[in-house]
């Protein structure tokens, strides 16, 4: 019986050999600009993490008192806006490709979960701003959170808790899901085009 | 001759394999270039627009600029009529803001996790901490020891008098003479404490040196009009699609548009329902689950086939394969379940 280490290595090599993990060629049908939006989403996440790391290194109050801090806060804000913009276009593109075909349902599902986890990640960021916007969002958001009982353990009015969620717990979740999503994409490859024969004739069978 | 549409199973199988041509691709270069482009766009947006940072409201600033509103709110905390005093779980055992879905009352079931006694936490305890003022401490004791009926009579009289109060910024609230019992000196002292900035610190939940929990000061602020007035001016109210707005003219959480949409729906009294937050969250949870499970939802998963946007996405590929087909001899038909990915 082989060791756990060997099993994990063999599992990885079997499912994701290096040439598939980091391919130097792609199917010839990958020509549309829509394919860029997945990479742009990841790139925006890189900029978010980079600017957020600088903000975290200096502490949550820094950007209110230092112009360079405000600069990095602005980079952080706009990269978040770009992240969601690119991700939504990416998701719409994959929807119209029916990109879940050919055993790729998990690829779609991890992408959808990534969007849904990114929403509270951004929400806790808004709560961590320490300005009027944070006060308003916290006092209004708490009613929805409380209405389903979640307020018992997720208190939007507790800055310390929201800050922890924003800079550690939820980013870890987003990055983990994005990593899983990318590995699944590399494992299954990008979805081939819908055959043109499908566009003619009788209604599609369910 | 019209070709028959593929079944979902056939379409699925056709997407499992691709035996066609490949083209060179540099994934690392793509990600690096994209990161540079995104960083550049974010930099340009930062230089052009910066980011909003409206200073927070404090209890001190509120009590100085809106002293009557502050005292009116403090009185509602004392007599138990404020939103916080009547809220329910997770702050107390009232029911004013408790929501439920049919018989599912999660808010109540999960109990009081952040206990707030509005009268004690927002008024009586802060007044108790004011040193060297025996007449104030006597007034607080008199109020605490009075029967509820007497307390209500004092509060009602003072509340009515506040409608005729005269005031000026940074100053006390002057009300006509009346029988307010100890309520008048208590409110005057609390206003003075708030205007000095002392109440902001007193309301922090933890008694430890380091503070991170702003539950009590935020609840107190929310019970007044200071946050609401500023939010209305900034188009942040729920009826203004405020959930997806940002202060100033900046884009906010625009990805919450669908969540915000339900708060605008008047049909069936949804927007005015006492359970609106629970209902909207339940709707969004169901829609989120459906979003994740699109590959398995009959009808929804076929929309891309009925509205063939894919023809636009892969138009170059379809054109090239069509041209190739026109010049090459016809290929043998593949066996069922192993259709090639290319058309």
List average pLDDT for each run of 10 residues in chain A, which is 206 residues long: 89 92 93 95 98 97 97 98 98 97 96 97 96 96 94 95 97 98 95 78 39
Considering only the beta carbons, identify the residue of B35, B230, B341 that sits closest to A46: B35
Cβ within 8 Å of A, B 276-335? 277-278, 280-282, 288, 291-296, 298-299, 301-311, 313-314, 316-318, 320
State how far residue A7 is from chain B, nearest Cα, in angstroms: 26
* B175/B159 Cα distance (integer angstroms): 10
Q: Say if the Cβ atoms of A198 and B278 lie within 8 Å.
A: no
| 3 state DSSP class of A53 | helix
- Take residue A95 and report the two structure tokens written for it: 């929807």
Beta bridge partners of B24: A25
Which residues from chain B sit within 8 angstroms of residue A123, using beta carbons? 253
Considering only the beta carbons, identify the residue of A79, A86, A191 that sits closest to B15: A191
Q: Is residue B214 part of a domain?
A: yes
* B215/B204 Cα distance (integer angstroms): 8
pLDDT in tens, A71-116: 999 999 999 999 999 999 999 999 999 999 999 999 999 999 999 9
What pLDDT is recorded for position B248?
Answer: 86
Which residues from chain B sit within 8 angstroms of residue A21, using beta carbons? none
Q: Say if the Cβ atoms of A201 and B243 lie within 8 Å.
A: no
Tally A–B CB contacts below 8 A. Answer: 330
Mean pLDDT of B16-20: 89
| 3 state DSSP class of B55 | coil
Which residues from chain B sit within 8 angstroms of residue A24, using beta carbons? 24-27
What pLDDT is recorded for position B287?
Answer: 97
Task: Tell me the residue range of the domain where B103 lies.
Answer: 59-229
Q: Is the peptide bond before B90 cis (omega within 30 degrees of 0)?
A: yes
Sign of CA dihedral B29, B31, B37, B39: negative
Going by pLDDT thresholds of 50, 70 and 90, the confidence category of residue B166 is confident
Is the confidence at residue B214, as pLDDT, over 50? yes
What pLDDT is recorded for position A88?
Answer: 97
Mean pLDDT of B112-116: 95
Chain B interface includes A66 (CB < 8 A) = no
Is the confidence at residue B1, as pLDDT, over 70? no
Arithmetic mean of pLDDT over chain B? 89
User: Residue A26: what are its φ and ψ, rounded to 5°?
Assistant: -140, 160
Fill in the DSSP letter of residue B57. Answer: P
ipTM over 0.90: yes
Q: Report domain extents, chain A.
A: 33-191
Chain A interface includes B218 (CB < 8 A) = yes
Is the confidence at residue B158, as pLDDT, over 70? yes
* B74/B195 Cα distance (integer angstroms): 13
Identify whether the C-beta of residue A186 lies closer than 8 Å to the C-beta of residue A23: yes
- Take residue B17 and report the two structure tokens written for it: 């394999």
Cβ within 8 Å of A, B 109-148? 109-111, 113-114
Going by pLDDT thresholds of 50, 70 and 90, the confidence category of residue B154 is very high
Give DSSP secondary structure letters for A75-117. HHHHHHHHHHHHHHHHHHHHHHTTTTTTT-HHHHHHHHHHHHH
Q: Is residue B323 part of a domain?
A: no
What pLDDT is recorded for position B10?
Answer: 85
| 3 state DSSP class of B176 | coil
- Take residue B145 and report the two structure tokens written for it: 């020891």
Is the confidence at residue B271, as pLDDT, over 70? yes
Identify whether the C-beta of residue B315 lies closer than 8 Å to the C-beta of residue A34: no
What pLDDT is recorded for position B341?
Answer: 42
Mean pLDDT of B112-132: 94
Phi-psi region of A52 (alpha: psi -120 to 50; beta: other; left: phi over 0): alpha
Give DSSP secondary structure letters for B219-250. HHHHHSSHHHHHHHHTT-SGGGTGGGB-STT-
Is the confidence at residue B339, as pLDDT, over 90? no
Overall fold of domain A33-191: Cytochrome Bc1 Complex; Chain C (1.20.810)
Chain A interface includes B271 (CB < 8 A) = no
Say which residues have a Cβ less than 8 Å from residue B3's Cβ, sequence separation at least 6.
A197, A200, A201
What pLDDT is recorded for position B329?
Answer: 58
| 3 state DSSP class of A137 | helix
Split into its structural domains, chain B has a count of 1
pLDDT in tens, B279-321: 999 999 999 999 999 999 999 999 999 999 999 999 999 998 8
- Take residue B47 and report the two structure tokens written for it: 């230089």
Is the confidence at residue B2, as pLDDT, over 50? no
């Amino acid at each position: 019986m082989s060791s756990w280490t060997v099993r994990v290595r063999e599992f990885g090599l079997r499912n994701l050999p290096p040439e598939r993990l980091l391919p130097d060629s792609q199917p010839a049908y990958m020509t549309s600009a829509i394919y860029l939006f997945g990479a742009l989403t990841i790139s925006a996440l890189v900029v978010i993490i980079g600017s957020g790391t600088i903000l975290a290194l200096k502490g949550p109050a820094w950007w209110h008192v230092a112009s360079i801090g405000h600069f990095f806060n602005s980079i952080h804000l706009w990269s978040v806006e770009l992240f969601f913009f690119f991700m939504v276009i990416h998701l719409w593109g994959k929807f119209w490709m029916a990109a879940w075909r050919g055993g790729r349902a998990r690829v779609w599902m991890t992408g959808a979960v990534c969007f849904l986890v990114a929403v509270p990640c951004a929400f806790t960021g808004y709560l961590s701003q320490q300005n009027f916007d944070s006060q308003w969002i916290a006092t209004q958001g708490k009613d929805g959170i409380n209405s389903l009982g979640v307020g018992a353990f997720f208190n939007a009015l507790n800055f310390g808790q929201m800050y922890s969620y924003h800079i550690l717990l939820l980013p870890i979740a987003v990055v983990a899901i994005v990593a899983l999503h990318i590995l699944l994409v590399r494992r299954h490859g990008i979805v081939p085009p819908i055959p043109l024969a499908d566009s003619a004739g009788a209604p599609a069978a369910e | 001759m019209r070709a028959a549409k593929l079944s979902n199973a056939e379409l699925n199988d056709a997407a499992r394999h691709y035996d066609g041509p490949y083209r060179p691709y540099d994934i690392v270069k793509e990600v690096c270039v994209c990161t540079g482009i995104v960083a550049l766009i974010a930099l340009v947006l930062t230089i052009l627009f910066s980011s909003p940072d409206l200073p927070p409201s404090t209890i001190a600033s509120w009590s100085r600029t809106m002293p009557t509103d502050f005292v009116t709110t403090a009185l509602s905390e004392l007599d138990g009529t404020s939103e916080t005093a009547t809220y329910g779980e997770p702050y107390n055992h009232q029911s004013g803001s408790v929501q439920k879905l049919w018989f599912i009352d999660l808010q109540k079931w999960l109990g009081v996790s952040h206990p707030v006694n509005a009268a004690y936490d927002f008024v009586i305890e802060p007044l108790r901490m004011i040193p060297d003022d025996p007449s104030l401490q006597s007034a607080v004791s008199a109020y605490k020891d009075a029967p509820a009926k007497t307390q209500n009579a004092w509060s009602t009289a003072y509340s009515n008098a506040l409608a005729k109060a005269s005031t000026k910024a940074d100053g006390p609230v002057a009300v006509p003479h009346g029988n307010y019992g100890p309520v008048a000196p208590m409110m005057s002292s609390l206003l003075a404490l708030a205007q000095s900035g002392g109440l902001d610190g007193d309301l922090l939940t933890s008694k430890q040196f380091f503070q991170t929990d702003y539950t009590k000061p935020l609840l107190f602020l929310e019970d007044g009009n200071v946050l609401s007035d500023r939010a209305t001016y900034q188009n942040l109210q729920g009826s203004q699609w405020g959930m997806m707005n940002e202060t100033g003219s900046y884009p906010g959480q625009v990805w919450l548009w669908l969540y915000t949409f339900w708060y605008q729906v008047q049909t069936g009294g949804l927007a005015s329902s006492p359970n609106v937050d629970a209902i909207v969250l339940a709707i969004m949870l169901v829609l989120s689950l459906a979003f994740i499970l699109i590959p398995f939802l009959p009808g929804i998963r076929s929309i891309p086939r009925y509205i063939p946007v894919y023809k636009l996405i892969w138009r170059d590929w379809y054109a090239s394969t069509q041209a190739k087909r026109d010049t090459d001899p016809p290929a043998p038909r593949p066996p069922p379940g192993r259709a090639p990915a290319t058309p």
